[in-house]
Chains A and B, each alone.
Chain A
Amino acid sequence: GEDVEQSLFLSVREGDSSVINCTYTDSSSTYLYWYKQEPGAGLQLLTYIFSNMDMKQDQRLTVLLNKKDKHLSLRIADTQTGDSAIYFCAELGNSGYAHNFGKGTSLLVTP
């Protein structure tokens, strides 16, 4: 099957920028997503980007999409300790029903 790949761990200092990268395989995906999972909680949509966009900015979050390389990134500016969580990249599958998720990137923000 198709795999969404992400790096597993990232550690940054508070106040620095974090960049989480993802590669996806389904070039026909219409939407790509970043979900956040805090300890003991379910996944929650953080942001998304439509496939005809290259970039989307939402406050401290910037999503970059390179369709040619099937590469998606999430940049968090001025990272805070409360941003420590697992971040999942996902693509909307062909059927329009299911999301294909990566393994998640565990972000640790240190003071």
Chain B
Amino acid sequence: EPEVTQTPSHQVTQMGQEVILRCVPISNHLYFYWYRQILGQKVEFLVSFYNNEISEKSEIFDDQFSVERPDGSNFTLKIRSTKLEDSAMYFCASRGARGGTGELFFGEGSRLTVL
């Protein structure tokens, strides 16, 4: 069964360092997302990506964040200079065509710990 895969599963980094989280969405999907969940908090929307550009982003997704789909397969989230408050579980998700039920298919998440 097709699935969304994420790497790494866990990354520990020092404050101020750059981090890249990687995702391989389901191959025929068109919409890609990043969400994050700080421990004990709700799952928060970061950004959606369609047709090689950002379609929507939240207030959390500031200049420190960027997304890229470099090769038609991977979908990456980069955090340029990590802060302590970036520690969270980051989920990648993908979706097929617009419309329909809007079901999102999630990866297992990448846990980021910033020290």
Question: Measuring CB to CB, which residues of chain A are less than 8 angstroms from any residue of chain B?
Answer: 1, 3-4, 30-31, 33, 35, 40-45, 48, 88, 90, 92-93, 95-104
Contact = CB atoms under 8 A, between A and B. Distances in A.
A101 B98 contact: no
29 contacts: A4-B42, A31-B102, A33-B102, A33-B103, A35-B106, A41-B108, A42-B91, A42-B106, A42-B108, A42-B109, A43-B43, A43-B106, A45-B103, A45-B104, A48-B103, A93-B45, A95-B56, A96-B102, A97-B31, A97-B33, A98-B45, A99-B45, A99-B102, A100-B45, A101-B35, A101-B45, A102-B42, A104-B42, A104-B43
Contact of A97 (B41, B55, B103, B109): B55
Given A42-B4, A43-B91, A99 B56 contact: no
Nearest to B43: A101
B48 interface: yes
Interface of B: 4, 31, 33, 35, 40-45, 48, 50, 55-56, 58-59, 91, 93, 98, 101-109
A85 to B, nearest CB: 14
A41 B109 CA distance: 7
Nearest to A103: B42
